[in-house]
Amino acid sequence: MKIPAIFLLLLGSVASQADPPNVLFIAVDDLRPELGCYGESHMVTPNIDSLASQGRMFRNHYVAVPTCGASRYAMLSGIRPTASSDDNSAFNAMPSSLPANPESWVDLLRRNGWHTVSLGKVTHEPDGYRWNYPSTYDINRQYATNPDMRFSWNEILYDHDKWGAQRYPLFAYADGTGRVRGSTPAWEMGVDGQGQSLPDEAYPDGQMAQAAIEKLREFKDDGTRFCLAVGFFKPHLPFNAPKAYWDLYDPATLPAASPTSKPTGANSATTTNSGEIGSYTNGSDRDQLRHAYFACVSYMDAQVGKLLTELDALGLADDTIVVLWGDHGWCLDDYGLIGKHKVLERSLEAPLIIRPQASYRAEAYAGIQANGVVETLDIYPTIAELCGLTMPAGPDGSSLVPMIRNPYAPGKNHAYSRYGSLTTIRTPDWRLIQAGGDYDLYDLSNYRYEVADVSGSNSSTVASLSADLSTQGQRSGITYNVWANGNPSLTDPTADADKDGVANLLEYAFGSNALSAISVPDFTISNQDLTSIGFTANELVVKYVIDTTSDDLTLAPEMSTDLTTWNSTLLQFLDASDLGGGKHELRYRVNSAANRLFFRGKIFQQTTP
């Protein structure tokens, strides 16, 4: 095959931020990464999968606390959990009088002109307000007091509909009843009197989706800059969903729990079962519970799809940040356990998907998952940066914007979580759990779930990681100024310090040595045999190396057939190889038979509004 003429055009350019974006934040209760986009091929989740294909999916996202209230408090406040904020009373720590600094990232937006709306379970209470209710959480709520967050929302919306305000909204059955501890089932297949599937609106999540759509239309009509936070209840117990979503799964083909037993040598305090399932009458059938959970996930996915479809239809998608976040994981007979409330991987891992506004999207990297370790605390500074706002003092996380631009940017050295007296950190390869004076250590480098405690044979690793339990995890990215290190030859990014024809900024982006003329960007175009991955034996492949530690820019490949229209649609991403030292080699297949093709590596440096 004759190689088409391709000219390398390396352009240093600045992408300026447009008007401040809207924010659509979707919180999902008890959602573990049981989604198609997370590699779970048995799952039917086309809408969330589509969102992930357009934005950034974080494969190794960990929550601060594996229980609803404390996890949501950490997410909204950005504050690392302590013994006083690691249970469902965490929102008691929210201020009762107007604070000098924002109480949450939502409050930060509100103070800067966003109209903020809560719908559903965004904080701990399903309708946003603290109620006087029995300790069972079931029925006979008597009166609402204050919101969980008093200074964050312009509006708190929720319609209790047929269930009434006295019933705890999270535990709704289709007939208008709610949970009665010890008397009601752990799952319900929603059917009408003829055995046909009930509509989505038979349960609260379907109703909330419609309410959110109406609110989006209102924002569009008014031209309001908004932050709409929607909190879907499912897949929280009870696992109730219309029959149509149960029918998506054949119980005979569903995968078994994994791992199947408790980790060998684990401290017994780390493998206790949650008592939550004991509130229901039919929780002992684990296979049925798994089927019911999967049905609820697909039901919730359909509601997410309605919101995203409406956002597109209203022409708001390019101007809106969309975040989908699960508040913690859940054990579905994994380790032989049921529920959350554990500091093991299955309870602490949760989905995090961020699709930024269009000005922040590098289409060549769309849909590529980020594998670096991140944590829920990072959501606050990420939204602040995407919105062009200055972070106040107090929150502890790190912005994930560099990883949104470039999925190969480094994650954090560790994520910290706790529950009760148990504390843990997760690194790319290890999980260390502290239970009193005892430590459990798990090697997760080859299999992501805990199988056997190896602390006895890895004392030096235990010592090193135990010291990190008291420190906040950090990312390791750098900026151009740090890279230049005060060298006057590198002060001007458009200059060419070594006179090799490559600007300093491009040397920084590609990871070459800007002070050595023999060190130039590693870029090749060649014909390669790609039959092993479903292509021909003579495919044109673009290969180049980038420095992934660069936090302040994105180098995105683009192609053109006429030097006028440039985009990444002619390039099909193949793979990336970690070369070490903060460098990755990327390969793209040229998806064009044109006689003339032009390639450029375009640098985007983001500026705030």
For 22-468, the fitting CATH number among 3.40.50.880, 3.40.720.10, 3.90.1150.10, 3.30.365.10 is: 3.40.720.10
**pLDDT for the residue 132:** 78
Q: Which tens digits make up the pLDDT trace of 161-174?
A: 999 988 888 999 99
| Averaged pLDDT for residues 195-218 | 98
| Residues 404-409, mean pLDDT to the nearest whole number | 94
Q: What is the 3-state secondary structure (H, E, C) of 28-49?
A: ECCCCCCCHHHCCCCCCCHHHH
Rounded Cα gap, residues 159 and 162, in angstroms: 9
Query: Rounded to an integer, what distance in angstroms lies between the CA atom of residue 584 and that of residue 9?
Result: 20
Q: pLDDT by residue (tens digit) across 101-128?
A: 999 999 999 999 999 999 999 999 999 9
Length of the chain: 609
What mean pLDDT is predicted for residues 517-529? 92
How far is Cα 27 from Cα 232, in angstroms, rounded to an integer? 6
- Residue 14 confidence (pLDDT) above 50: no
Q: Are 283 and 289 in contact (CB under 8 A)?
A: yes
Separation CA 280–CA 277 (nearest Å)? 6
Q: Which two tokens mark 394?
A: 């107090």
* Across 324-331, average pLDDT: 98
Place of tokens 């379907």: 206
Stated pTM of the model: 0.95
User: Where along the chain do its domains lie?
Assistant: 5-15+478-606, 22-468
State the Cα–Cα distance between residues 545 and 530, nearest whole angstrom. 20
Mean of the pLDDT values across residues 335-354? 97
Active site residues: 68, 124
Please, which pLDDT band fits residue 4 given cuts at 50, 70 and 90? low
Q: In the prediction, which pLDDT does 10 show?
A: 52
Least confident of 76-80, 341-345, 495-499, 602-606: 602-606
Quote the DSSP letter at residue 555.
Answer: E
